[in-house]
Amino acid sequence: MCRSLTLPLLLLLFVSGFTAQAVDDRVVKVLPHFLDRKGQHTLSPSLYERDAYQAQLRQHPAERSAIRFDVQWKLVSPGSATHKLRVEIRGVAEGNLPKQKVLEQSVKGSSWFSHWSSLTFSGDEYKQFGEVTAWRVTLWESDLLLAEQKSFLW
């Protein structure tokens, strides 16, 4: 009796795992990178070299020219609506409130694959902004928040 129920039960569990929708609209990954005066975030394609160069740029703020947020995102049902990727940045507080900056970019994507977008904060405004203390990346459909990812201090 037990064996006769085992096979249908396993088959049911196997099939239901494929029909369940496990992925929503989401921000998969956020990689904040400092850029040097040449606009580079690394000196070679090695991940070890990238991390070492980022540590050097973190310790020597005078060598930085910008910060770039490389964002991996995915839309399950892109439709025809307008989607936006927004990066909110907070800096060191002056007075009672911290400095804030918002970067936005319109995005279009398919439901099959994730996509990468880069948003860069640079120029004189970046130099006057000071140290970035926290960030939040959000994915929007018109005025509806679809997904977010934020730093520990947000």
Task: Give DSSP secondary structure letters for 99-116.
Answer: EEEEEEEEE---SSS-EE
pLDDT of residue 111 exceeding 50: yes
pLDDT of residue 58 exceeding 60: yes
Domains in the chain: boundaries: 23-150
pLDDT for 131: 92
Q: Are 143 and 124 in contact (CB under 8 A)?
A: no
Residues 134-146 pLDDT 10s: 999 999 998 899 9
Residues 64-101 pLDDT 10s: 999 999 999 998 876 767 899 999 999 987 778 889 99
Top-level class of domain 23-150: mainly beta
Q: Are 42 and 93 in contact (CB under 8 A)?
A: no
What proportion of the chain, given as a percentage, has pLDDT over 70? 83
Q: Which helix (H) or strand (E) holds 89?
A: strand 83-94
pLDDT for 20: 43
pLDDT of residue 21 exceeding 50: no
In the predicted model, what is the mean pLDDT of residues 45-65? 95
Provide the CB-side half-sphere exposure for 132 (13 A, CA).
25
More confident residue, 110 or 127: 127
pTM tops 0.85? no
pLDDT of residue 5 exceeding 70: no
Mean pLDDT across the chain = 87
CA distance 141 to 83: 5
pLDDT for 2: 58
pLDDT for 142: 87
